């Protein structure tokens, strides 16, 4: 149990669907992250939130839309995705964003048809 949970664990969606990924951390951390993990590629940082404010957006297409309503929850809203967006989406949290150890959730395996 890492203290970071993600739902759903698996998701299949069509290119015209709208879905959301949810992440929740029970560690009292102030920073949360979304990563994309594709086969044979390094983990790609997508978004960083610190104290519910987005502090980094790594040139992610607008079809990915993050939301952080409070320091414990992070969402990734998905719409009109492409097949190449199929990947494992990992959420992480850290006490603060400054050089703190990040704790990861189990990920959501996304398949876009």
Which residues are near another protein by CB under 8 A? Answer: 2, 4, 6, 40-43, 45, 48, 56, 90, 92, 97-99, 101-107
How many whole angstroms separate alpha carbon 98 and alpha carbon 109?
A: 28
Query: Which residue, 16 or 99, is less far from another protein as judged by CB?
Result: 99
For 13-68, give the secondary structure using H, E and C. Answer: ECCCCEEEEEEEECCCCCEEEEEEECCCCCCEEEEEEECCEEEEECCCCCCEEEEE
Min dist. Cβ of residue 21 to another protein (A):
13
If the CB atoms of residues 75 and 79 are measured against another protein, the closer one turns out to be: 75
Q: Provide, rounded to whole angstroms, the least separation between the CB of residue 10 and another protein.
A: 10
């Amino acid at each position: 149990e890492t203290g970071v949970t993600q739902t759903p664990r698996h998701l299949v969606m069509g290119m015209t669907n709208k879905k959301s990924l949810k992440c929740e951390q029970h560690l009292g951390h102030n920073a949360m992250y979304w990563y994309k993990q594709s086969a044979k590629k390094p983990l790609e940082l997508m978004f960083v939130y610190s104290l519910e404010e987005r502090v980094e957006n790594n040139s992610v297409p607008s079809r990915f839309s993050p939301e952080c309503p409070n320091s414990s929850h992070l969402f990734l809203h998905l719409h009109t995705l492409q097949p190449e967006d199929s990947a494992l989406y990992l959420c992480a949290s850290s006490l603060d964003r400054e050089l703190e150890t990040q704790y990861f959730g189990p990920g959501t395996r996304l398949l876009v048809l």
